[in-house]
Amino acid sequence: MEALFDHGLSAGAAVTLFACLAVALAFEFVNGFHDTANAVATVIYTNALPPRVAVTLSGAFNFAGVFVGGIAVALGIMKLLPVELLVSSGAHAGLAMVLALLVAAIGWNLATWYKGLPASSSHTLIGSILGVGIANSLRPGHSFGDGVNWSKAGEIALSLVVSPLFGFFAAAALLLLARRYTPNKALLIAPPGDTPPPPGVRALLVATCSGVSFAHGSNDGQKGVGLVMLILIGIVPGGFALDLTAGHDRVDRTLRATAAIERTLTLHADAAAQPEAARARAQLAAVRLHLGACDAVRDVPRAERFAVRQSVLLADTALDKLVKGGGLGLTATELRDLEGQRKALRNLTDYAPTWVLFAIALALGVGTMFGWKRIVVTVGEKIGKAHLTYAQGASAEIVAAGAIGFASLAGLPVSTTHVLSSGVAGTMVANGSGVRSDTVRNIALAWVLTLPATATLAAVLFTAFRLMLG
C-alpha cells in the first residue's frame, strides 16, 4: 500500500484518488446488501438461522471468498473495456470511464433494491461497461462499436442468460430427486411456525448458505477488485501499472515469453496476418527494451512502467486478433503453447495487491449485513405461492453455489441473484406450489431493462465526465 503515498501526488490528485476509491468501495458495499440477501433468504425462511446470525455468517464467507477466488473474473471484466481507454496516456479518459461505470451501477442497484427486486449486479456492471465503450466509439475518429470487445461481451452475455435457466431446471430436478428418494418426508413440508429444522438438515442449510456466500465473494468481489485496479493504474501509474513485487524470475519469464511469441509469429503468420503480426512484434520489442536491463520490476524507471503495461496490453490484443482470425494456422497444441506464453507475457500486469483484496472483501462483507431485508422478503415470500420447505431451500442453494463456483473458476461473471432466485422459482414449480406471476414478471422486467438502462446511463455519464475532466 506504500505505493499510494510514494509518488508525490498533488493535493488535487490525492483527493481525486481517494474519492474514486470511496465510490468503488461504495459499489461493493451496495453489491453486498443487494446480492447476498439471496444467500441468506433460504436459511432465514426455513428457520435454520436467525436473520442477524445468517447475515453475519454470510458476510464472513463473502470476505473469505474474495481472497480465495483469485482475479480471473476481474481480468475478464477489464477485457470488456476498450483497449484505447486502458492504455490512454492521460488519466482523464480512464477516470471518466471508471466514474461512469460506478455511478451508473450504484444508481441502478439502489433503484432495484428500493423496489425489492433481486436484479443482478453483474448484469448492471456489464451494461455500464458496454455503455462506456459505445459512448467512446461515438467520439470523432471512431466507428460505432469500435473498441468494445464484442466477443468477450458475447461470452459473458451467454453466461448471464444460461445461468438462470440452469438454476431453474437444476434446482427443480434436485428437488424432484429429494421428493423421490428422501426417507425424511418432513423435509418436504413448510417449517411449522418458528421451529428450526432437524440438526442434520440445519447443518446442510447453513453449509449451502455459506457456500453461496463464499461463491458470491469469489465471483462478485473480483469485479470490485478490477475497478479499483483501474482507478489506481489511471491515477498512480508508476505505482500500479506493473506488479512491483515481481523479482528476477518473473521478469525473466516475461522476456522468455516475448522471444517465444516472436518465433511463433515469424514461423506461422501468413501474408494476410502480417500487418497485425508487425504490430505485435513492435510492442513485444518495446517490452524487451524496457525490461531487458532490469533485474526486477522496481528497477524499471517509474516514468516507463505505464509504457510497459501499454505494450503488453497492445501486444496481447494483437495476438488475440491473430488467433481469432486464424491468421497463424496453429495446431491445437501450438495454440495451447501460445496461450501459456501470453499468460507469461501478462504476468507482470495481471495482478492485484493484497490490500486491494482486503478492502473489497471488507466492503462486500460489511455490506452483506445491511439493507438485506427487502430482497430477502422478495425471495422468501413473493416468488412462490407457498412457504419455502427445507428441501427447496437446500436445492436452490446447492445449485447456486455450484454454478457460481464453476463460473469463478472459468473467469466468467454470473449473477448470484438470478441463479438463486430462478432456483427458488424452479423448486416452487417442481413442488407444485406455483409462482407469483406478478413478482416473476417484475424480476424478468428488471432483467430485460438492466442492460439498456445501465448502458444508456453510463454512456451519458461518461460523456459528461469527459467534458468536465477535459
Could you report the per-residue pLDDT of 166-221, keeping only the tens digit for each? 888 988 998 889 888 887 777 777 777 777 878 887 888 888 888 888 887 887 77
Question: Among 319, 348, 377, where does a domain finish?
Answer: 348
Question: Among 303, 319, 348, where does a domain finish?
Answer: 348
Domain range spanning residue 75? 2-238+353-469
143 shares a domain with 67: yes
Average pLDDT over residues 64-92: 70
DSSP conformational letter for 196: P
Distance of alpha carbon 384 from alpha carbon 324, whole angstroms: 45
230 shares a domain with 116: yes
Residue with the larger pLDDT of the pair 412 and 283: 283
Residue 299's pLDDT is 94
pLDDT over 70 at 435, yes or no: no
Name the least confident of 41-55, 376-390, 453-467.
376-390
Which three-class secondary structure state does DSSP give residue 412?
coil
Percent of the residues in the chain that have a pLDDT greater than 70, as a whole number:
82
Distance of alpha carbon 130 from alpha carbon 57, whole angstroms: 34
Does an H or E element contain 392, and which? helix 390-410
Backbone phi and psi for residue 435, each to the nearest 5 degrees, phi listed first: -120, 160
Q: How many other C-beta atoms lie within 10 A of the C-beta of residue 64?
A: 18
Question: Among 331, 348, 365, where does a domain finish?
Answer: 348
Residue with the larger pLDDT of the pair 239 and 154: 239
Residue 89's pLDDT is 45
223 shares a domain with 335: no
Residue 23's pLDDT is 87
144 shares a domain with 293: no
317 shares a domain with 281: yes
Model confidence pLDDT, tens digit, residues 336-359: 999 999 999 999 999 999 999 999
246 shares a domain with 234: no
pLDDT over 90 at 13, yes or no: no
163 shares a domain with 81: yes
DSSP conformational letter for 382: I
Cβ-contact 146, 135 below 8 angstroms = no
For the ranges 5-14, 353-362, 417-426, the one whose mean pLDDT is highest: 353-362
189 shares a domain with 63: yes
Average pLDDT over residues 258-267: 92
The chain-wide mean pLDDT, for the chain, equals 81
Confidence (pTM):
0.78
Residue 346's pLDDT is 94
431 shares a domain with 304: no
Model confidence pLDDT, tens digit, residues 129-178: 888 888 888 877 666 766 666 766 676 677 777 878 888 898 899 888 98
Total domains, the chain: 2
194 shares a domain with 141: yes
State the pLDDT confidence band at 270, using cuts at 50, 70 and 90.
confident
Average pLDDT over residues 67-96: 68
Name the least confident of 84-88, 100-104, 105-109, 456-460.
84-88
The closest alpha carbon to 153, from 228, 82, 227, 231, belongs to 82
326 shares a domain with 314: yes
Give me the amino acid identity at 63: F
Which three-class secondary structure state does DSSP give residue 79?
coil
pLDDT over 50 at 371, yes or no: yes
57 shares a domain with 25: yes
Residue 146's pLDDT is 66
pLDDT over 50 at 283, yes or no: yes
Residue 317's pLDDT is 87
